[in-house]
Amino acid sequence: MAALAAARLTRPSALHALAPLRLASCSSLIARTGPSTALNHRLDGSHRRRLHQAAPLAHENPLGIPRREANPAPKLPRRGGPPPRSRIRGVKNIIVVASGKGGVGKSTVAANLALALAKTSPLGRAPRVGLLDLDIFGPSVPMLMGLDHAGEPAMNEQNKLLPLQNHGIKTMSIGYLLPPDPNTPVVWRGLMVQKAVQQLLFDVDWTDGQGDLDVLVIDMPPGTGDVQLSLGQLVVVDGAVIVSTPQDIALIDARKGVAMFQKVNVPITGLLLNMSHYTCSSCSVPHELFGSADKFTKAANELGLEVLGNVPLVTSVSDGGDAGRPVMTQSSPEGDEVRSTMRSVAERVWDWLASRPRENVGVRG
Ligand SMILES: Nc1ncnc2c1ncn2[C@@H]1O[C@H](COP(=O)(O)OP(=O)(O)OP(=O)(O)O)[C@@H](O)[C@H]1O
Ligand SMILES: [Mg+2]
């Protein structure tokens, strides 16, 4: 925690070290966002992390992490080609959970997939699994994993953030670094978002002295924008699980998500149909409330993709998410079908990872 306190103290002075060019672009940002933000930051004597205020001045360092000159993360080019993709130090495999569509259950699936991967190891030992929340504007991982009151992450001697852990899963989210008021939005432009993604990718110590993570699950924001592009350009992603609900409107956006990842060379592991059916307590047959699972499978076949599983709509999934106890950590019979589906999805993901050829790329972080 001493390092974290030091981090807070060094943030305002680190601003003076910004190169003139950066200061020039800062001034233009401040001009666009209003001077009070910058003033508040400089006059802030409380040393509390105030990302929403500091943001316009710190667009090269949105998370306020002290600099790591020894091994800086790659700079995103403003012109020319993208930097070479690399692997993240301390992370063996990366699986992203994504969809073009919002609200289809990406975060819920990501949290439960991380837990399912931890429970279905083909490695002959308990696997080390992490969960990274890349949803900058709407982070869900802190609440889903019961870590929303866990406080800020500490930092190691190399000024890397140390993940917060619960249910045996190491997690990192911008949600841990935001001011405590949950109603404060992150209002950032594209460049800030890209830098924040870069810091979340390369400035976290996933090993923490215990060995590399076997798999890092990344919860993506909805859409096909800056975060997805930055991720695809910066790191080698081993597979994407695309989540969709059965409605046509969700499928259209899921298709866009697939096309986007294919464009940035992210291989698609398969599609996951979420909220595929609902069986009420007095029903003997499942009801397909949002559309036909068969139609979904047909759409997947047309895309040349497999359906990894059909996850039913179950109250304990949403209740568990709100309570920080994902359904994979529960034992109520109501969640049995979801758990067995997620275990089978996890097994397929492990198989997928084992069968992938390894790209020979550098390691960063
Ligand atoms: N299988 C399910 N059964 C019941 N509720 C579910 C299920 N999957 C997701 N939910 C609920 O649906 C809501 C949306 O889920 P979630 O936040 O995971 O979606 P998302 O795709 O990550 O959203 P966003 O695009 O905003 O990030 C949550 O309240 C979650 O608890
Ligand atoms: Mg989400």
| Digit-coded pLDDT (tens) for 121-155 | 888 899 999 999 999 999 999 999 999 999 999 99
27 pLDDT exceeds 60?
no
Contact between 242 and 259 under an 8 Å Cβ cutoff? The reply is no
**273 within ligand 1 shell (Cβ under 6 A):** no
Confidence of residue 67 (pLDDT cuts 50, 70, 90): low
237 pLDDT exceeds 70?
yes
Q: Atom 9 (ligand 1): residue with closest C-alpha?
A: 105
Q: How many residues does the chain have?
A: 365
Kindly write down the DSSP assignment for every residue of 1-18, as one continuous string. Answer: -HHHHHHHHHHHHHGGGS
pLDDT, mean of residues 234-257: 90
**103 within ligand 1 shell (Cβ under 6 A):** yes
Contact between 271 and 306 under an 8 Å Cβ cutoff? The reply is yes
Span from the CA of 107 to the centroid of ligand 1 (angstroms): 7
30 pLDDT exceeds 90?
no
Closest CA to 308 of 255, 249, 260, 240: 240
**What are φ and ψ of residue 159, in 5° steps?**
60, 35
Span from the CA of 313 to the centroid of ligand 1 (angstroms): 10
Ligand closest to Cα of 318 equals 1
Give the helix ranges, DSSP H, for 44-188: 51-54, 106-119, 141-144
* CB burial of residue 302 (10 Å; 0-12, 13-18, 19+): exposed
Contact between 353 and 362 under an 8 Å Cβ cutoff? The reply is no
Q: Is 277 helix (H, G, I), strand (E, B) or coil?
A: coil
| Digit-coded pLDDT (tens) for 323-339 | 999 999 999 999 999 99
Residue of 244 and 291 predicted with greater confidence: 244
For each of the domains in the chain, give its residue range(s) and CATH number, in order of start: 2-57 (no CATH), 87-357 (3.40.50.300)
70 pLDDT exceeds 80?
no
Q: Print the SS3 string covering 208-225.
A: CCCCCECEEEEECCCCCC
Residue of 2 and 263 predicted with greater confidence: 263
Probe target for ligand 1 pocket from 108, 314, 339, with the most ligand atoms within 8 Å of CB: 108
